[in-house]
């Protein structure tokens, strides 16, 4: 089983590390992809951000993976993900194949195209709420919301629980 993790080039370590740690603990392989080939920890969170080499979004083939997780990060690179057409194509490809899709915190609007008429949760940033409402998503004030193959988590505090549900869905396929 292999999962694709999409993140902004300045990712939130509070979301990235618990996600990857939980996936590793569950024995799920993962591959990280971003808009740039070199990504780094969000500067506001760590004094000395570490850099890593990852796949770029153009190199990603959705057929290689069994699930998708989108995590957040610094505002500007994260907002680039909201409007990235490659990300949209990847999300829609996962949705067409009915593969599990998860998004955390302010990264939920990245998957907004598949949330029409579906329940979800998001970190209460007004911009995120407006974007989701425009696409017809039903926003709930809950820590984790599951609707079909889509799982959304409101904040980084519930990542472990979200990954547990995500992996259960992966194995149930």
Interface ranges with other proteins (CB under 8 A): 17, 20-21, 24, 29-32, 38-39, 51-54
Q: Which is nearer to other proteins, 21 or 168 (CB)?
A: 21
Q: Which is nearer to other proteins, 20 or 167 (CB)?
A: 20
Q: Round to the nearest angstrom and report the end-to-end CA distance of the chain.
A: 11
Q: Which is nearer to other proteins, 35 or 121 (CB)?
A: 35
* Number of CB atoms found within 10 A of residue 104's CB: 31
Token reading at 37: 């080939």
Token reading at 69: 């997780």
d(CA 104, CA 170): 17
Minimum Å gap between C-beta 42 and other proteins is 15
* Number of CB atoms found within 10 A of residue 172's CB: 7
Minimum Å gap between C-beta 106 and other proteins is 21
Q: Which is nearer to other proteins, 59 or 97 (CB)?
A: 59
Local structure of 138: helix, strand or coil: strand
Minimum Å gap between C-beta 24 and other proteins is 5
């Amino acid at each position: 089983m292999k999962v694709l993790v999409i993140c902004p080039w300045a990712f939130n370590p509070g979301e990235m590390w618990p996600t990857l740690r939980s996936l590793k603990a569950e024995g799920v392989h993962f591959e990280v992809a971003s808009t740039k080939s070199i990504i780094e920890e969000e500067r506001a969170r760590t004094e000395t951000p570490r850099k890593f080499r990852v796949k770029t979004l153009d190199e990603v083939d959705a057929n290689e993976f069994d699930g998708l997780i989108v995590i957040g990060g610094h505002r500007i690179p994260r907002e680039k993900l909201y409007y990235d057409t490659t990300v949209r194509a990847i999300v829609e490809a996962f949705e067409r194949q009915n593969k599990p899709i998860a998004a955390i915190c302010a990264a939920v609007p990245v998957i907004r195209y598949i949330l029409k008429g579906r329940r979800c949760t998001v970190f209460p940033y007004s911009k995120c709420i407006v974007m989701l409402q425009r696409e017809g998503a039903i926003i709930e004030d809950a820590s984790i919301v599951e609707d079909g193959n889509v799982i959304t988590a409101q904040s980084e505090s519930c990542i472990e629980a979200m990954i547990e549900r995500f992996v259960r869905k992966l194995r149930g396929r």
